[in-house]
Amino acid sequence: MEEIPRVVSTARRFDGGVFGVRSDTVAYSDGAQHRVDVVEHGLSITIVATPRVRELVLVRQYRHAVGVCLWELPAGTAGREETALDAAKRELREETGYGAARVEPIGAIWTTPGFCDEAMQFFHADGLTAGAQALDADERIEVGIFELEAAWRLVADGTADAKTLLALFWLQGERREFGRIVPR
């Protein structure tokens, strides 16, 4: 049975530059109540940039939460007054230096719905033209172009993230659209 509990109360726990945390008390129809902690992140975007057939642009950066450098798709968040498409074009240019003749939405996923409200919109970019990166002051990003087989090896080695794995399946498969979710 699918029951969506009602929110009885909400308490702010943290407000940061990238995310916030709240604690909701939820009540079910049988009277049971539970506390649910939620990381509030909202919409993020990621770009599957393909310079040529069977190639993929990845960026390598240190991820402090896991203590390692990972290869991953260019990604970021949309500004308040920015569409997801505009954010995708901006993040591609900032992180990789590439512009794209075509940028099209291909799907969206909930990244970690057990505790976080982040929805991630994926875009495919091709017709790439090289340019200069425009990194934020706190970004240290290396750009690489990988044949798909080499990118699969990064996944096998544990040096690529989950969104990159999803992109590889998409590139290898039928390139179907996926996940038409709409964040709250």
Report domain extents, the chain.
6-40, 43-172
Residue 152: how many other CB atoms lie within 10 Å? 16
Q: Measuring CA to CA, which residue among 120, 118, 126, 116 is closest to residue 165? A: 120
The CATH number that domain 43-172 falls under is 3.90.79.10
pLDDT over threshold 80, residue 165: yes
Query: What pTM was estimated for this model as a whole?
Result: 0.89
pLDDT over threshold 90, residue 42: no
**pLDDT digit string, tens, across residues 48-80:** 999 999 999 999 999 999 999 999 999 999 888
Average pLDDT over residues 32-51: 96
**pLDDT digit string, tens, across residues 86-136:** 999 999 999 999 999 999 999 999 999 999 999 999 999 999 999 999 988
